[in-house]
Amino acid sequence: MKLKLFFLLTSLFFIHTSGQNYIFGKVVSEDNSEIPDVTVINIRTDERTLTNRDGHFMVSGRAGDELRFVKAGYERLVKKVSKENITSSINVTLARETILIPEVEIKKGLTGDLKIDSKNLNRPTKVEKLIRDMDRYIAQKSDPRILAAKPGEFVQPKGQGFYIGKVKNKWDDIDLGEYLKAALGEEYFTNLKIDKAQIDHFITYVFAGGFERKHILKYGYCNDDDLRRFQQFVLARISSYRAPKTQR
């Protein structure tokens, strides 16, 4: 009796297991790299499994079932099981999700043109003042007396001196000085311990130290290299600069 019962149970187990199919497969990326930890779901039975570190998986199923492949960062894929997939491995390729890169605002740099740079500066009050000053200087000729030292003020050392723009030049030293203040900002000079009231005087002092600017004045254009060259002259002249005394 025990022998018959054992034979019956064995037969039932054999029938059950022989009717059970397993689907094997491998999941890779677009560059043929194995993808681990991909969730594989048999939609009919809701059975779930994960791919191993080599991208392989095994799940029970049959022909006609649909397998869903889910992995963060990859597009979901649904694949229908064919009869051939029961006897051979399924190769699945997952594509990476398309990531939308947020738009990056590119701020315009200095062009060397006072009018254009004034519009691009994000400081409305200073822009308005710069435009008013620029229009005033363009409307009138530069007067050398503006740059002349007052009684008791520091006198420029003898040398080549500074260059007052001629009529044929688009800029003169005053225009260039205004541009340098707008481009570098007053804070650049105050950080060097130059009072706001003395910034114009200090720029003139740097000009007198041999800062080459004929090309800048002629074309009315100051590029980034010119700005860096001016800053180098500033560092070379700042130690010897003496601000003019305030008259009482």
- CATH 2.60.40.1120 location in the chain: 23-94
Q: Which residues, including other chains, have CB under 8 Å from residue 57's CB and lie 6 or more apart?
A: 24, 25, 26, 27, 38, 40, 49, 50, 51
- Residue 197's nearest CA partner among 186, 182, 208 is 186
Q: Which residues pair with 22 in a beta bridge?
A: 60
Report d(CA 173, CA 217) in Å as an integer: 7
- Residue 94's nearest CA partner among 30, 174, 147 is 30
**pTM for the model:** 0.37
Q: What is the pLDDT of residue 102?
A: 61
Report d(CA 117, CA 226) in Å as an integer: 16
Q: State the pLDDT confidence band at 6, using cuts at 50, 70 and 90.
A: very low
Q: In terms of C-beta density within 10 A (0-12 exposed, 13-18 middle, 19 or more buried), how is residue 166 classed?
A: exposed
pLDDT exceeds cutoff 90 at 28: yes
Q: What is the pLDDT of residue 133?
A: 78
What confidence tens digit (pLDDT) does each residue in 106-143 have? 555 666 666 666 666 556 677 677 777 777 767 665 55
- Residue 22's nearest CA partner among 69, 67, 68, 54 is 67
The token pair at 169 is 């030049």
Q: What is the pLDDT of residue 15?
A: 41
- Residue 201's nearest CA partner among 181, 216, 221, 183 is 181
Whole-angstrom CA distances from 248 to 113, 137, 152, 233, 235 are 39, 29, 11, 32, 31
Is the domain defined by 23-94 classed in CATH 2.60.40.1120?
A: yes
What confidence tens digit (pLDDT) does each residue in 156-211 have? 555 555 555 445 789 999 999 999 999 999 999 999 999 999 999 999 999 998 99
- Which helix (H) or strand (E) covers residue 67, if one does? strand 66-70
What confidence tens digit (pLDDT) does each residue in 36-66 have? 999 999 999 999 999 999 999 999 999 999 9
Is the model more confident about 11 or about 173?
173
pLDDT exceeds cutoff 70 at 34: yes
Whole-angstrom CA distances from 106 to 97, 103, 126, 208 are 27, 9, 22, 37
Please give the average per-residue pLDDT across 19-35, as a whole number: 89
For the sheet containing 90-94, what is the strand order?
56-60, 22-29, 90-94
Q: What is the pLDDT of residue 122?
A: 57
Q: What is the pLDDT of residue 131?
A: 77
